[in-house]
Structure 1
Amino acid sequence: MNDFAASFDGAQVLITGGLGFIGSTLAHRLVAQGARVTLVDSLIPIYGGNLRNIAGIENQVNVNIADVRDQYSMDYLVQGQDYLFNLAGQSSHMDSMRDPYADLDINCRAQLSILEACRKHNSKLKVVYTSTRQIYGKPDFLPVDERHLLHPTDVNGVNKMAGEWYHIVYNNVYGIRACALRLTNTIGPRMRVKDARQTFLGIWIKQLIEEEPIQVWGDGTQIRDFTYVDDCVDALLMAAASPAADGQIFNLGSDETINLRDLAALLIEINGAGSFDVIPFPADRKPIDIGDYYADYRLIQGRLGWRPRVALRDGLLRTLEFYRAEREHYW
């Protein structure tokens, strides 16, 4: 990443969803690299924003409490920016099924508002959009590469797919430099752990520290890959700094795969205590489960030189240590 650090020294950077898990971790890195950072977040309680996430840099960033659905706010906020990391979104798969219109509003209409603000008020900035592996749905083959058909299993996947392609269309038609990263399960400090809205691993961490059994849904044989948040931030910065990323879509992934039963056992081993129960899927969860998934990330490796650096065990250890110390701010 040192090759790209100079790209952000003194740069004006806007991060939507900036008080959330990935956005705040990105903000910490950008501040260290000399960027002038503005964070936009609605702080709606059911989403991931948390002011504690910027502890240590709160006086080095500008925080704007605004909703990306507010066209007038975005028209103003994009002005003068060199980079926009567009991380704001509704990430809960179940919430998207219970309230599809809210998901549509945040993950589709708001994305158009952001891109229209860029087109009208700052067409020179670079936009990096965080998409999701959920848009692939149940994989036809493994590992999943970017040529895999898109057939999402839930409303969230459909709307995230649309949000991703709005960015690519605006790149291709209007020349707004934009790219998308399809994230897999991202883990690490600052992720939401009070419930499973952001990632199932969050609630597992909470259950483990609370000395409650981890609940593994299904039969526990579902295979997943995980990206540590610092590796995810590396990819975001590389994509922003590199012209080779313009108009492109990249998977993130891992060199390690693990099934959920073994993941629960690994967490318990690292923690030094705990237990897990394998229970049937809740009735509303089974129809949208994607089964096994792990990504082929060779495209971003070949184009940008990215590859994951933090091993799964190390990432889980760092995450557990963080929440043992910070639980009062995240429970």
Structure 2
Amino acid sequence: MFYLNKKILITGGLGFIGSNLARSLVNQGAKVTLIDSLIPQYGGNNFNIDDIKNEVVINISDVRDTYAMEYLIKDQEYVFNLAGQTSHLDSMTDPKTDLDINAAAQLSLLEVCRAKNPQTKIIFASTRQLYGKPDYLPVDEKHPIRPVDVNGINKLAGEWYHLLYNNVYGLRTCALRLTNTYGNGMRVKDARQTFLGIWIRRMIEGDPIEIFGDGLQKRDFNHVDDCVEALLLAGQSETANGKVYNLGSQEVIDLKSLAQLMIGISPGAQYKMIPFPPERKAIDIGDYYSDFSLIRHELGWQPKTSLKNGLEKTLQYYKEHHRHYWDIQS
């Protein structure tokens, strides 16, 4: 109950991770304000917080709006900074918007905190994508950083702005490099947020899962409940200030085996292998899985939800609530 009565702001609060974080904080008695732009292609969804909508304050605004951020940040004790443009392909076709949201807006937010509320603690959601193609596995925080797309470069800039403001101005900030996060509330209308989303949609609609290439690319996954726990631990820990932590899992699986696991959970589903689209192949990173020993040792975090159990819960959720996330064709 560390967050009991704490004033907390979540950017991207109607999105996938933000809404799950909000639910956990509400259950702990926190006073939660959510910011979301509800731009259609970014994943915010009012249904994500339908069960707690009367227990949070919702502000529909954009993190690029400095005046709105000045008003919303000034009294907050914690800022969980989750707003961002997450599509790697979109970052290549519209790099300027990605720059505005993932880099420039992050700098503006930090400037607002420095000027209006330097006591607040800021937890930034970064990404494993900034490592690029791994030199070795599992990837730890000392691995070279070589983003393979515009999104990775801009997320890296946003992350380093947070660390700079910690080191130079004394703002308390930290960053978590998230891996493939999945669970209730993730975008499933398309593959903008994670490929697992469109896999789930195709399964429920009766279409085969599409696997690019040979399907042997290895990945690790975190259920959103474990991701939320990591965010909360980072927020309450002074040890985390100025630090970057990888999230990850000890369950490493290739994509073909992942599809087979999902089909085992939902009999009747199928998958098919298709050639890599050129635009995706150009930014594919091959095998990737994380070494998360630093956050385990310093903050005591490790994932608790098995991949099978997490996928079972996620599939069941979308079977029940798909009408709130996409329109099924009859």
Tell me the TM-score normalised to structure 2 length.
0.98
**By how many angstroms is 1:281 displaced?**
0.8
**By how many angstroms is 1:18 displaced?**
0.2
Q: Does residue 166 of the first structure (1) align with residue 161 of the second (2)?
A: yes
Which residue number in structure 2 is paired with residue 41 of structure 1?
36
Which residue number in structure 2 is paired with residue 95 of structure 1?
90
* 2:53 alignment partner, one of 33, 55, 58: 58
Which residue number in structure 2 is paired with residue 260 of structure 1?
255
Is the partner of 2:97 in helix, strand or coil?
helix
* 2:64 alignment partner, one of 65, 69, 77: 69
Which residue number in structure 2 is paired with residue 138 of structure 1?
133
CA distance in 2, matches of 1:121, 1:71: 12
Q: Could you report, residue by residue, the CA deviation over 1:171-226 in whole angstroms, capped at 9, with x for unpaired residues?
A: 00011100000000001000000000000000000000111000001110000000
Q: Does residue 325 of the first structure (1) align with residue 325 of the second (2)?
A: no
Is the partner of 2:35 in helix, strand or coil?
strand
Q: Does residue 121 of the first structure (1) align with residue 116 of the second (2)?
A: yes
CA distance in 1, matches of 2:227, 2:250: 14
Q: Does residue 195 of the first structure (1) align with residue 190 of the second (2)?
A: yes
CA distance in 2, matches of 1:150, 1:205: 31
CA distance in 2, matches of 1:221, 1:111: 36
CA distance in 1, matches of 2:94, 2:114: 30
CA distance in 1, matches of 2:63, 2:277: 32
CA distance in 1, matches of 2:137, 2:37: 37
CA distance in 2, matches of 1:112, 1:73: 15
* 2:292 alignment partner, one of 287, 290, 297: 297
Residue 301 of structure 1 aligns with an amino acid whose one-letter code is R
Which residue number in structure 2 is paired with residue 218 of structure 1?
213
Count of residue pairs the alignment pairs up: 326
Is the partner of 1:142 in helix, strand or coil?
coil
CA distance in 2, matches of 1:254, 1:144: 12
* 2:25 alignment partner, one of 25, 30, 33: 30
Q: Could you report, residue by residue, the CA deviation over 1:219-277 in whole angstroms, capped at 9, with x for unpaired residues?
A: 10000000000000000000000101000000000010000000011001101221101
Tell me the TM-score normalised to structure 1 length.
0.98
Q: Please give the root-mean-square deviation of Cα atoms over the aligned residues, in Å.
A: 0.4
**By how many angstroms is 1:168 displaced?**
0.1
Residue 163 of structure 1 aligns with an amino acid whose one-letter code is G
Q: Does residue 109 of the first structure (1) align with residue 104 of the second (2)?
A: yes
Residue 213 of structure 1 aligns with an amino acid whose one-letter code is P
Is the partner of 1:130 in helix, strand or coil?
strand
Which residue number in structure 2 is paired with residue 183 of structure 1?
178
Identity, % of aligned pairs? 61
List alignment gaps of at least 5 residues for structure 2. none
Q: State the 4+ residue runs in structure 1 displaced beyond 2 angstroms.
A: none
CA distance in 2, matches of 1:22, 1:38: 15
